[in-house]
Structure 1
């Protein structure tokens, strides 16, 4: 019986991106993984080893995975011969192949299935675009410096690590202090720079490398700044996300789509964040690949015609009410989550379901995947709802996909800044009489009163909501003047009755103009790939009692190489057949490698199992060959002329290995073959 090594770690992790806000630390994952906080600490210490004997610590497991990935060139630190640069990694040949396969499936699963409009926008972005989106002013983390060496650290990471270490390792901790540390972890994302600094001083937290004292926290913008053109007068940034390129192209994309909603635009591309202290390997890097979707929808109708396709899916969900009540995640049916109001709308729910199918078909363990709803302190003021697809790995729960209803914030922000109306319209079959709020600032009176600030005051008045405008109208009629906050000025001004006219007028309209809402699924591809590496990794016994063989159990969908071709021994007639099969595999579009070395067949199997090749063809006859399955190690005998079609059938997902086993005679390999002895 083959026993697989599996890992279940229950630690929290930071967010890979911050389109809305940062996720809160989660102390209680799903009941099947860790029912209580006490079990969390005990179970995080070790995991079962292959064969059920002994244990492997989370650090040892991670080291085994990382060592295999780097040794087999899935990825390596960038610029390694110069000492490397933290947060930058190169993908090697098998890593590139896995990444290409993941992205190809993403395009198939989302872009083709949903008829999305794919775009490819520049990585360098003018400052004005990111000023409008809020990134220039708000895309920051709080940083502290080692006062002697100048080394930089994220302030919240230091405080979080300190509290977690105390909770997990300090067995003399009093109940009062345990409650205090848990409270700090729960409110970590709400702490101001002053509050973070106070806690760091109170707990006497020092620089982890040198034990030197730390500076007070201060904001650090995570974007890489650059300039466009030789003069240096046109500031820009390396984009921190791909979404803004889609938003600024909305008008043209809407026209391209026949002026019809809903529609979605998609983009795959590089993004850049100047992380303060990159750690956790591929999970927190300075350059990474994002795949983002912006689904534009009428804010008054967020139903989805294909929601029925996913409504019966059931998986782990972690609604905010359960988080705030201290309960664990539970398995919920997606359709019920919509009908009960847990998920805000059908379109958001549809994408949650599609993300679940995408991740599980890639090879992510469905029992180590959950969808966590953002808490109130994480939600941006404009967001209607937001869920994160979190995957459990040796680093804890990692946010890999964010699925957010961002309302109309992004289009309105760019419309206000650029002056372009980024709107959609709905034509009426018959004209409709509607009541419409009309705000008419008196530019002459405002100019006399506010001079150079006139434009900012006018823009703020015109941007009032209906409720704000009616409240102002009532105040002006009763008092003749009212205090009005102009956000762009950062202060209140006095508006008098002669400065603005506010009326509700009846008009006949032939169409309705509106700013669409946006449902945004955003995928951190590198994070998904790393979690996939861990979920697919296991060890099984080798030739000797102490030997453990590394295996990546990639589904054929994402495996870097689909099959290998081995002549059993170095004979010209076998090598000729191997070349014939290789030619047929190439014609069928199947990635493969042909190995004509003199190594034992067992060693060749082990070498390709270690990079996750699902099938191996061994040429031991001139008219028929054996085909071996990587995980079961079962073999079947297939005619040479059929073998390429059999491999394609399995690797394309048309049939499973079990289906193929029924159709072809089994071939029994000797123990010596599998263990590495020369046949």
Structure 2
């Protein structure tokens, strides 16, 4: 499932060098490291914090401001009853396996995936084929066990392994167990066959969504009852990762940004701005292709995808396109993005259609954004559990006549007759569909009683007589309409996006001429941790007032900057900040003392222009805000060649 990993400039990705640079420059570091660290927990350093904050700021502007969303910030601690009602306690569990030799617990799908990929790697080695090595593979090579040697596999076996990997997310527990047995899969660490185990639930929230659903009625009132509308939330969530791996890509605590867009299901989930995005082309991997054992993608305009039914509805399609535009804006490599549709077995219990925006990294394709049609599931189950009216009431322009089956419960007799089970049975009757009520009405007329399915009581069925329940066909006039909205949910894993962005924008220069290769992070100016490096030509005290004044002006313009007045060469100072992704550098030199002009250097090309302080600051502001490109700047300001060799 992994593909060739390359850098922004098409070079093979040196994962070890990148990881070393990220730790050295403190983008992130293992939490509690001096105590030995804790698997799956990381702290962000200064550049990592700034990068994350800038991604979140871009997200807020792209979604909350642009779509006029209502932002909320809800508690991380969530009562058990809420997650029980939402289905997370019972339905969100990953199949696991346990090594009886060392007690290690592994996620079963990850275990199958890892071992089969290593076997395919061994096959390529035996065939003499070129292999792009992942850091994890390099480590595992040191612990080769049976099934992982460089052994040539039969062509049919290779095809079978590739087909399994193509649909690895679709297998249930029984199927994963069968695969482990059939292919004699063993733990790379011990060579031991493994079997099933169990997991303990956690009680920190797994998503920000539930807080938004529970506040739906208040948000609807705040929005003056108008539909459709969207809420949004940014905050920490937590998962019980069985075996955290791959650095920031699989952690136990992470930042999420989630949107809940509430829509009237009777309007076929159309979106009034869909025409703005319908021509945007997305790279799609649909479920049927995956189930056929392939990973072939196709580029389709989102308008056509919705029209053909490949994407379920306009609102879902609208947000897929908006997700694509956001990822493009913050610097995601457009050759390393695809939207993969969930297969039936991996679909969350609440979803009727779901697509993941996946980004290609050295670890393979990584899910970074999920976009699901949650239908009316969450609002319905919470309303049913609490009795809260999580519905929309809409006054109709013209009254409409409704004919339907209605149930009437004789409450004075019903409660005393069924005692402690009364409320459970009543709830089961009231939530029956029109079709079910029609069947029950015929049964009641024929037998004078009905048998109702009631989960949670003994035997799961209850007999109800006609003196306790009446089912009638009625006609009524409605002046208002009540309905439970459906929800389209884009959900962003900020940490995964951040790390993928780093890989996509990382490259090195200076190695061709015999110099040591120097790392560069080519972040777009809008999300770069620091926008400007201020570099005095030397430690001459006459430069200090100009440096301070320039720093103050940049702050006043809302542009973050750093001053490097160390004794290192200008080239070295710029190189250190290229590693941090700083897009622009200003040099203060002796010419500055004469005419108050400075040079402006662009990180990727290392080209420079020269102009007055105010002109340079205005140019940087336009570049950071995306109003102009560097090419525009070069046409508007004089090119400067004087320090080119020294800086490069």
TM-score over 0.5 for the pair: yes
Deviation of 1:71 after TM superposition, in Å, equals: 0.9
State the partner residue of 1:32.
none
Q: Which moved more, 1:344-353 or 1:76-85?
A: 344-353
Could you tell me how far apart the structure 2 residues matched to 1:48 and 1:66 are? 14
State the partner residue of 2:283.
316
Deviation of 1:461 after TM superposition, in Å, equals: 1.8
Could you tell me how far apart the structure 2 residues matched to 1:211 and 1:589 are? 57
Could you tell me how far apart the structure 2 residues matched to 1:212 and 1:381 are? 34
Could you tell me how far apart the structure 1 residues matched to 2:33 and 2:429 are? 56
Give aligned pairs, total.
Answer: 614
Could you tell me how far apart the structure 2 residues matched to 1:190 and 1:48 are? 31
Whether the 8 Å CA contact 1:575–1:596 is kept in 2: the answer is no
Superposed counterparts of 1:246-285, under 5 Å:
246-285=212-251
Could you tell me how far apart the structure 2 residues matched to 1:198 and 1:390 are? 28
Deviation of 1:420 after TM superposition, in Å, equals: 0.8
Q: Does residue 1:572 correspond to 2:541, yes or no?
A: yes
Q: Does residue 1:379 correspond to 2:335, yes or no?
A: no
Whether the 8 Å CA contact 1:77–1:84 is kept in 2: the answer is yes
State the partner residue of 1:457.
425
Q: Does residue 1:418 correspond to 2:351, yes or no?
A: no
Q: Does residue 1:161 correspond to 2:141, yes or no?
A: no
State the partner residue of 1:610.
579
SS of match in other structure, 1:140: coil
Could you tell me how far apart the structure 2 residues matched to 1:184 and 1:472 are? 46
Quick one: which of 350, 368, 373 aligns to 1:405?
Answer: 373
Q: Does residue 1:218 correspond to 2:197, yes or no?
A: yes
Deviation of 1:201 after TM superposition, in Å, equals: 4.0
Whether the 8 Å CA contact 1:348–1:404 is kept in 2: the answer is yes
SS of match in other structure, 1:279: coil
Change in 2 beyond 3 A, CA 1:354/1:535: same
Whether the 8 Å CA contact 1:480–1:497 is kept in 2: the answer is yes
Superposed counterparts of 1:341-490, under 5 Å:
341-380=309-348, 382-442=350-410, 451-478=419-446, 484-489=452-457
Deviation of 1:291 after TM superposition, in Å, equals: 0.4
Could you tell me how far apart the structure 1 residues matched to 2:585 and 2:301 are? 40
Could you tell me how far apart the structure 2 residues matched to 1:268 and 1:496 are? 48
Could you tell me how far apart the structure 2 residues matched to 1:513 and 1:206 are? 56
Change in 2 beyond 3 A, CA 1:366/1:187: closer
Q: Which moved more, 1:435-444 or 1:640-649?
A: 435-444
Q: Which moved more, 1:551-560 or 1:372-381?
A: 372-381
- Deviation string for 1:631-669 (max 9, x for gaps)? 011111111343222221212222111111011111114
Deviation of 1:398 after TM superposition, in Å, equals: 0.9
State the partner residue of 2:100.
147
SS of match in other structure, 1:108: helix
- Deviation string for 1:56-94 (max 9, x for gaps)? 4x6xx2222211111111101111111110100000000
State the partner residue of 2:499.
530
State the partner residue of 1:102.
55
State the partner residue of 1:26.
none
SS of match in other structure, 2:97: strand
TM-score by length of 2: 0.89
Q: Which moved more, 1:457-466 or 1:623-632?
A: 457-466
Change in 2 beyond 3 A, CA 1:653/1:188: closer
Could you tell me how far apart the structure 2 residues matched to 1:219 and 1:481 are? 44
State the partner residue of 2:130.
none
Could you tell me how far apart the structure 2 residues matched to 1:49 and 1:243 are? 35
SS of match in other structure, 1:659: helix
Q: Does residue 1:209 correspond to 2:175, yes or no?
A: no
Superposed counterparts of 1:330-345, under 5 Å:
330-345=298-313
State the partner residue of 2:132.
none
Q: Does residue 1:300 correspond to 2:253, yes or no?
A: no
Q: Which runs of 5+ in 2 are unaligned?
A: 124-150
Quick one: which of 625, 635, 649 aligns to 2:598?
Answer: 625
- Deviation string for 1:186-229 (max 9, x for gaps)? 56445444443444344443333333453x31342452xxxxxx
Could you tell me how far apart the structure 1 residues matched to 2:406 and 2:504 are? 58
Could you tell me how far apart the structure 2 residues matched to 1:106 and 1:421 are? 31
State the partner residue of 1:234.
none
Q: Which moved more, 1:320-329 or 1:627-636?
A: 320-329
Could you tell me how far apart the structure 1 residues matched to 2:534 and 2:285 are? 46
Q: Does residue 1:590 correspond to 2:559, yes or no?
A: yes
Whether the 8 Å CA contact 1:76–1:91 is kept in 2: the answer is yes
State the partner residue of 1:640.
613
Quick one: which of 56, 70, 73 aligns to 1:120?
Answer: 73
Q: Which runs of 5+ in 1 are unaligned?
A: 1-9, 12-39, 224-236
- Deviation string for 1:491-516 (max 9, x for gaps)? 44253552533223100111011111
Q: Which moved more, 1:297-306 or 1:465-474?
A: 465-474
Q: Does residue 1:558 correspond to 2:524, yes or no?
A: no
Change in 2 beyond 3 A, CA 1:129/1:496: closer
State the partner residue of 1:68.
21
Whether the 8 Å CA contact 1:635–1:669 is kept in 2: the answer is no
SS of match in other structure, 2:463: strand
